[in-house]
Amino acid sequence: MKKRNNVFTLLMLGLPTLMLILVSFYPLIRSLIMSFTNYNVLRPNQDVSFVGVENYGKFFDDTRSFPSLSFSLIYAFFCVSFSYIIGLGLALLMNAPIKFRAFFRALILLPWAIPTVVATANWLWILNDQVGFVNIVLQEIGLIDSPIMFIANPVMARITCIIVGTWKSYPFMALSLLAGLQSIPDELYESARMDGAGSFRCFWNITLPLLKNVSTVIITMMFIWGFNNFDIIYLLTQGGPLERTYTLPIYTYNIAFYRGQMGYASAVSMITLVILLVFCLVYMKAQKLED
């Protein structure tokens, strides 16, 4: 009986492990190997050969690589910053003793729950320069004379991507911070108020320090998700106009599936992975030094 239980346990652990290897580790290793080759899917008759670090060197010579990296960092930074500020404000409101708290908490989840394709399609309609709700309202009340090109203008396209990205991600921040707020004992606030501390002092000296661990985790996760974001930006702009909303994931996608340069695309994906690992290590180290 014991032997049968051991076999069953190994089977239950082995199958998920095997799936993890096949789904995660195999593509990673395969991509790493491919990054050192000249593999091109558009040239099936070409012999695949080892090119060393040539693909990695190409990244530093490509005029599109650093602008893509720059916007990836800009997009991730502003989405995380705005999402955290909005999420913290909503979490503080939802943690207060107000009526219909459960309803408002469910309402906060809506942007996160709506499928990305549906959400971006609605945003494209709302921000349309001809029939979009925003432009029509702004023109009706006299704030603008001509429609704002939210998608066609390079600067506005970047701002639009950040706004939609923030709208899509703030519910995660709000719910995570709300969970952190609910773990803070009320006795700490009562003691502080007895000592004469006001609301701001309580927030600055109690709330923020005790949310530090939660904040570290969600900021790191959100930065990684923002840096790797593909669907929101691609569905809104496809990297345009004038490639001003290219991010490293979109840049990698275009290299792989439009140019067919799988070897070079694999090298760019490996560079992206290294950048994220460095960010995580530096951020975690900084947090430890503060402690």
Q: What is the mean pLDDT of each run of 10 residues along the chain (291 residues)?
A: 63 72 79 89 79 89 91 95 94 82 81 90 92 90 89 93 94 91 86 82 86 88 91 92 92 90 92 88 73 60
CA dist 36 and 264 (Å) reads: 8
Asked if 177 and 214 count as a contact pair (C-beta separation under 8 A), the reply is: yes
Domain segments of the chain as ranges: 65-245
Q: Which whole-number Å values give the CA distances from 89 to 84, 86, 210, 220, in the listed order?
A: 8, 5, 16, 19
CATH class of this structure's domain 65-245: mainly alpha
pLDDT at 154: 92
User: How long is the chain?
Assistant: 291
pTM for this predicted structure: 0.88
Are 165 and 226 in contact by the 8 Å Cβ rule? The answer is yes
Closest CA to 223 of 73, 24, 71, 66: 73
229 by DSSP, 3-state: which? coil
Whether 233 contacts 161, CB under 8 Å? yes
Instruction: State residue 268's pLDDT score.
Output: 93
- Predicted pLDDT at 282: 80
Assess contact for 176 and 218: CB atoms under 8 A. yes
Q: What pLDDT does 3 receive?
A: 58
Please write the tens of the pLDDT for every residue from 231-272: 999 999 999 888 899 999 999 999 988 888 899 999 999 999
